[in-house]
Amino acid sequence: MPPHAADPPAKIPRFVDVLFLAPDTSVYALRFVDALRRAGARVHGIGHTPHGRISPELQRSLDGYAEARSILDGADLARIAREIAPSGGFARVETIDEPAVVSAAHVRSVLGLPGTSVESAILSRDKAAMKQRLRAREIPCAASVRVEDADAARAFTQREGFPVVIKPLDGFGALGTFRCDSPAELDRALERLQPTQDRPAIVEEFVEGHEGFLDAVVVDGQVVHDFIGHYYPSCLEALQDRAIRPKIACTNRMGSSGYEELRATGQRVIEALGIRDGATHMEWFFGPKGLRVSELGARPAGERIWDMHAAGNEFDLYGSWADAVLFSRRSGTPTRRFATGSVQIRPPKDGTFIGHDGVDVVRRELGDAIFESEVPRPGESTKPLTAGWHANTWFRVRDEDYDRLQQKLEFAARTVVPKVQ
């Protein structure tokens, strides 16, 4: 890490004006807006929600807000940014919204501001180009190809064989992702995705193994804080069966020798993609072929996973991110005291909740280990599986021992039963 990364700059301006794209997408975004304000920034937003309909909490946190036709139109966002810019202009343009990463980079380029470049942003969204860059740097990842029609997808499977995974080129998480074990399954997936030049897809080798993620705060291209999480089971498998009660577990055993290769690879990926200051979220697999990088997003993890990192490490992770993007400096020290995890207990069918069995038992047995939870009330509608891991009934738990954490998550998964009509 460069010597200056851990030290405050010689002079920090009293106020820094920041443009935040898509602050209206979730309460998660408000965590980052508030962190920027606590670090001394005045935060202005551009989103798709009409001004009168953004939440009162967000209105209080923003120093200005403008509505855009599309958060994906970088040229229009740059025009709006110029119109609403304060007299001294904006010092930074930030977002945590995956689809807006390229838009934010475009606005930075037009305004001549530091941060993730257009090239790096595109690489973080274009999974085929990303994997091509990583393979060129000898970073292990699955064989893959960008496809704009069905024939190109079929040609890949004839060359590489089955199983394969096909998904939108700029997809988010496991949404719109299909595993195909035969030509017939590939044809069904192609019928759903219908790849074209304007809406390309990526077909890649199916990587057998355990799936996890590596989150990082980056300063001047160097990882200053990182966190490792595991999926049980894999994201794609969890989306295929509502009976599965998926778990995410974030380890506090970061110093384990078993993670050395993963952490070193994360740094290499960040360097290969040219990420400078901010947050990254890297998905990975480990199996018979060893470690394989799935993809890296130039933004924080979704599903409010940073809340788990903050709870487990007892420090202001959001403030650390704000210091990284505003001042290119490292701040805060993770304690690594707790492992944290979440478990989602899905409803047996779509409909209306009429109650839950076992919730009182779980709350009594786990007690203070539960640091956050949500149990829908009778009369509330269920949410679909595509809503993610932070929907319907869920519990977030922490423990000083990673093995005990997993036992507690499994206990909650076995004990709570949602009732739906």
Asked whether the predicted pLDDT for residue 15 surpasses 70, the reply is no
| CATH no. of 143-205 | 3.30.1490.20
The pLDDT score that the predictor gives to residue 171 is 64
The pLDDT score that the predictor gives to residue 7 is 39
Residue spans of alpha helices (H) in 85-162: 101-111, 118-125, 127-136, 150-160
The answer to whether 250 and 406 have CB atoms below 8 angstroms apart is no
User: What fold is seen in the domain 3-123?
Assistant: Rossmann fold (3.40.50)
**What angle in degrees, to the nearest 10, is found between the helix axes of 260-273 and 118-125?**
130
Burial 312-340 (b: 16+ CB within 10 A, else e): bbebebbbbbbbbbbbbbbbbebebebbb
Predicted confidence band of residue 14 (pLDDT cuts 50, 70, 90): low
Task: Give the global pTM.
Answer: 0.91
The pLDDT score that the predictor gives to residue 177 is 85
Q: In terms of Cα–Cα distance, which of 28, 55, 24 is closest to 390?
A: 28
What is the tens place of the pLDDT at every residue in 35-54?
999 999 999 999 999 999 99
Predicted confidence band of residue 416 (pLDDT cuts 50, 70, 90): very high
What is the tens place of the pLDDT at every residue in 165-174?
998 887 655 5
Cis amide linkage into residue 86, ω under 30° from 0? no
Predicted confidence band of residue 5 (pLDDT cuts 50, 70, 90): very low
State the DSSP string of 183-211: HHHHHHHHHHH---SSS-EEEEEPPPSEE
The pLDDT score that the predictor gives to residue 324 is 97
What is the tens place of the pLDDT at every residue in 295-337?
999 999 999 999 999 999 999 999 999 999 999 999 999 999 9
Asked whether the predicted pLDDT for residue 10 surpasses 80, the reply is no
Largest separation between any pair of C-alpha atoms in the chain = 63
Pairing of strands 92-94, 16-21: parallel
Asked whether the predicted pLDDT for residue 203 surpasses 80, the reply is yes
The pLDDT score that the predictor gives to residue 12 is 44
Cα angle 396, 97, 76 (rounded to 5 degrees) comes to: 165
Predicted confidence band of residue 408 (pLDDT cuts 50, 70, 90): very high
pLDDT, averaged across the chain: 93
Asked whether the predicted pLDDT for residue 377 surpasses 80, the reply is yes
What is the tens place of the pLDDT at every residue in 50-96?
999 999 999 999 999 999 999 999 999 999 999 999 999 999 999 99
* pLDDT > 70: percent of the chain: 95
Q: Whole-angstrom Cα distance, residue 410 to residue 3? A: 44
Mean pLDDT of 126-149: 93
Domains of the chain, by residue range, sit at 3-123, 143-205, 338-421
* pLDDT > 90: percent of the chain: 88
Mean pLDDT of 381-404: 95
C-alpha R_g of the chain: 22
Kindly state the helix (H) or strand (E) to which residue 296 belongs, with its residue range: strand 290-297
What is the tens place of the pLDDT at every residue in 217-240?
999 999 999 999 999 999 989 988
The pLDDT score that the predictor gives to residue 41 is 97
What is the tens place of the pLDDT at every residue in 90-123?
999 999 999 999 999 999 999 999 999 999 999 9
Q: CA-CA distances (angstroms) from residue 136 to 110, 131, 140?
A: 30, 8, 10
Residue range 338-421 in CATH 3.30.470.20: yes
Q: Whole-angstrom Cα distance, residue 306 to residue 263? A: 18
Q: What's 382's DSSP letter?
A: P
Structure tokens at 351: 């409909």
Q: Whole-angstrom Cα distance, residue 193 to residue 170? A: 12
Q: To 10 degrees, the CA torsion angle through 243, 244, 245, 250?
A: -170
